[in-house]
Amino acid sequence: MEILLVNDLWVKYFTLSGVVSAVSGVSFKLRRGEMLAIVGESGSGKSTLGLALLNMVPKPGRIIRGEVVFNGVDILKLDPREIRKIRGSRISVVFQDPFTTLDPLRRIVDQFEEFLIEHGVEKVKVRTIVREYLEAVGLSERIMYSYPHQLSGGQKQRVSIAMAIALNPEVIIADEPTTALDVVVQKQIMDLIDSIKEKYKSSIILITHDLALALERADTIMVMYGGYVMEYAEKSELFSNMRHPYTRALFEALPRVLQRDLPRSLPGYPPDLRNPPPGCIFHPRCEFAVEKCKRELPPLIEVSRNHFVSCHRVGELL
């Protein structure tokens, strides 16, 4: 049973130097309790997509069309007051840089309590909830009375996660939640996100540039390139039956233990989304490109149950 249904979503930024097509016709479903990883290089539209799910795309961006149906209601049709009620309490967001969510000049406890009160929690209950959720993310009570600058990057990210889960949201969007952290802390934070998923049965959208992380943690993976979905499948299916040339290139670029050859990097550069190439947006970098790829946009087709690929040559490759 799906909790979120995204249908044909398009987002553009209207900049002085041109119109950037950041998200182009993206559709997917998120099931209850599922972790969906949205994977792609920098500039592939992942963060814009994450923001669009809560109608939070900043200016000069605009959602051109599409639906984001949450529990049967199209979020994009709600007025700002109704969206504010959903944001934080039913769908919450954890950003890469906790500095963007925490005010450096105020103690953690004051910020946390204000957030809870804004979302309708009774004043007498807030302190208990703050304590409970800081403990749930492995932080001691002492942290409550600290200022953000007194905490490490990992501790700040734990505070952001505590705030993100405190109102028991059904969906958590985690945008590169570990990118700014060192390897050991990255693992701890991802273990914490996994345990939240199990304990609270939350659905999680993990936005990451790291295919290895997605393969390790997610249930389902959606690979994006230049604003388009390239491939979308359950993890085990994707791992054993990778079909899109871009997904394979990402996979071949991963460093492996015990591999003697160096990982293969993908030649070329990501597309300029103010002036994207015609046809398949990946064709200038694709070693399998043929004439048709330069002219026609490949449709996203279901190649096997719940496995979608956007490639003209999907039937021939493999």
Site residues for ligand SF4 per CB under 6 A:
245, 280, 282-283, 286, 288-289, 293, 298, 311-313
Q: Is 271 in the site for ligand ATP (CB under 6 A)?
A: no
At 213 the three-state DSSP class reads helix
Among 22, 26, 102, 238, binds ligand ATP (CB under 6 A): 22
- Tokens 């200016």 belong to 59
31, 84, 209, 307: which one binds ligand ATP (CB under 6 A): 209
Q: Does 48 bind ligand ATP (CB under 6 A)?
A: yes
Choosing among ligand SF4, ligand ATP, none, which partner's interface includes residue 282 (Cβ < 5 to 8 Å by kind)? ligand SF4
Which among 15-23, 118-126, 259-267, 277-285 is the span making contact with ligand ATP, rule CB under 6 A? 15-23
Please identify, using beta-carbon distances, which residue of 83 and 289 lies nearer to ligand SF4: 289
273 touches, from ligand ATP, ligand SF4, none (C-beta below 5 to 8 Å by class): ligand ATP
DSSP for residue 66: E
Query: What totals of helices (H) and strands (E) does the chain contain, helices first?
Result: 10, 12
Question: In this chain, which of 25, 45, 66, 98 binds ligand ATP, going by CB under 6 A?
Answer: 45
Q: Cα separation of 86 and 81, whole Å?
A: 9
Question: Which ranges constitute the DSSP H helices of 168-281?
Answer: 183-200, 211-217, 235-240, 245-252
Q: Which does 154 bind (CB under 5 to 8 A by kind): ligand SF4, ligand ATP, none?
A: none
Return the half-sphere exposure (C-beta side, CA atoms, 13 A cut-off) of residue 118. Answer: 15
> CB of 282: closest distance to ligand ATP in angstroms?
15
Given the complex with ligand ATP, which of 40 and 279 has the nearer CB atom?
40
Q: Is the bond into 58 cis (omega within 30 degrees of 0)? A: no
The 3-state secondary structure of 32-63, one letter per residue: CCCEEEEECCCCCCHHHHHHHCCCCCCCCEEE
- DSSP-derived secondary structure for 143-179: GGGS-GGGS-HHHHHHHHHHHHHTT--SEEEEESTTT
Residues contributing to the site for ligand ATP (CB under 6 A): 13, 15, 20, 22, 40, 42-48, 58, 60-61, 209, 273
